[in-house]
Structure 1
Amino acid sequence: MRKLIFGINTTLDGCCDHTKGNANEEVHEYFTQLLREADVLLYGRKTYELMVPFWPDVAKNPSSPTTALDDFAKAFDAVNKIVVVSKTLEKAEGNKTAIIRTNLREEILKLKQEEGKAIVTGGVDVPSQLLQLGLIDEYHVVVHPVIAGEGRRLFDGINLPEQSQLKLAGSKVFKSGHVALRYMKG
């Protein structure tokens, strides 16, 4: 069975607004490696529209010399994308993107049963729904050495039927002070 991996950047105070952290080469390299272990990206409409067309455009116009941003863009562009239960996104860009408009739980369970590499999700709304449904198998949280003081918080306002116990599967401290934490479902 394919595993569903949630990857996110957050500040020390739990803010996951993409404008509040300070991603650098090391962080992009970390997430590039995660993307190389996947063949499907699963996003809500908001996160999808933040990522596309930005990263595909970077992949088409890499900088010279190649940077971690370019490598991330190429890895992002190579992976199929699914936009989850969007009612407002009429069509997706490119032939590597599909839209799920039906039951999220059923569609993700079907996707997990298919042959292939890992499924990676990011953002806030869809991963919160997936957490509530008990579908996330692994969590990759990169903590930025920043206190934002404001902004959207990770898993703010979710209601779980029971506490979700996780097991630390790995950690990595970057020279920049960022810390990557990897947790598995307990």
Structure 2
Amino acid sequence: MRKLRYAINLSIDGCFGLSDLVPPGDEVGTYFMRLLRDVDLLIYGRKTYQIMVPYWPDIAKNPSGETAQDVEFAQAFDSCNKIVFSRTLDKAEGSNTRIVRTDLQEEILKLKQEQGKDMLVGGVALPAQLIALGLVDEFIFVVQPILSGGGRRLFEDLGLQEKVTLKLIGSTTFTSGHIALHYVKMPSQ
């Protein structure tokens, strides 16, 4: 069965989507490349999709002025299959992206049964729904060496029916001060 992984960057005080985050450096970039190589399907909601696309596909098409690492990531991102859960998005870019308007839980359960590598979900709103439904199997938090002092906090509106227990299965400390924490969801008691 395929696993659904959730990965996000956040500050030490739990904020995400900040423009003042610390540049990740090559080590963190390599870490995210490994995550991307381990999956064959990226899952987004409309907002996160519209942040990622056209940004990364544009770099893949026109790499001038970009770092080799960004170009490699852009090409891997662009070639990966994508699903966008949205009721309002009219069309998606690229032949390897499809919009899904059906039941979220039903679609993810179906995708988990398909052959292939694991799946990676990004963003905040869609992953919160998937976590509340008990569908996220692994959590990867890349913690930035910064106290933001403000901004939206991860999971502040998460509506859980029951506690989710996680087990740390790996951590990586980078010379930049970033720390990657990799957790798996433990079975319900």
TM-score, length of structure 2 as denominator length: 0.94
Contact conserved, 1:143 with 1:178, CA < 8 A, in 2? yes
2:74 counterpart residue number? 73
Give 2:165's aligned amino acid.
Answer: Q
Cα contact 1:16–1:152 (8 A) shared by 2 = yes
* Residue 18 of structure 1: how far off its partner (Å): 4.6
CA positional deviation for 1:17: 1.0
Q: Give the structure 1 partner of residue 129 of structure 2.
A: 129
State percent identity of aligned pairs: 56
Q: How many residues align?
A: 185
- Contact 1:38-1:119 at 8 Å conserved across structures: yes
Residue by residue over 1:84-105, the C-alpha shift from the partner in whole angstroms, topping out at 9 and shown as x without a partner, is 1x12101100111011101000
Instruction: Identify the residue that residue 34 of structure 2 maps to in structure 1.
Output: 33
The match for 2:25 is: 24
Residue 105 of structure 2 aligns with which residue?
Answer: 105
The answer to whether structure 1 residue 162 and structure 2 residue 162 are counterparts is yes
- Distance (Å, rounded) in 2 between the aligned partners of 1:63 and 1:37: 27
Distance 1:114 1:20 in 2: 39
- How far 1:24 moved relative to its partner? 2.8
Q: Give the match for residue 89 of structure 2.
A: 89
Letter of the 2:70 counterpart: L
SS of equivalent residue, structure 2 residue 8: strand
The DSSP-based 3-state class of the residue aligned with 2:99 is: strand
What is the DSSP-based 3-state SS (H/G/I as helix, E as strand, rest coil) of the residue aligned with 1:98? strand
Structure 2 residue runs without a partner (length 5+):
none
Counterparts in 2 of 1:41 and 1:18: CA distance versus 1, 3 Å: farther
- Deviation (angstroms), 1:132: 0.1
Report the Cα distance in structure 2 between the residues aligned to 1:21 and 1:102, rounded to whole angstroms.
35
Q: Report the alpha carbon displacement of residue 162 of structure 1 after superposing the two structures with TM.
A: 1.0
TM-score, normalised to structure 1, is 0.95
1:44 aligns with 2:36: no
**Residue 11 of structure 1 contacts residue 20 of structure 1 at CA under 8 Å; is this kept in 2?**
no
Are residues 1:144 and 2:119 paired?
no
> Which whole-Å CA distance do the structure 1 matches of 2:6 and 2:126 have between them?
10
What whole-Å deviation, never above 9, does each CA across 1:91-130 have from its counterpart, x for those lacking one? Answer: 1001110111010000000011000001000100000000
Measure the CA separation in 1 of the matches of 2:44 and 2:107. Answer: 13
Helix, strand or coil at the partner of 2:153: coil
Output the aligned Cα RMSD. 1.3
Q: Deviations over 1:3-50 (max 9, x none)?
A: 000010000010111524223322221111101011100000000000
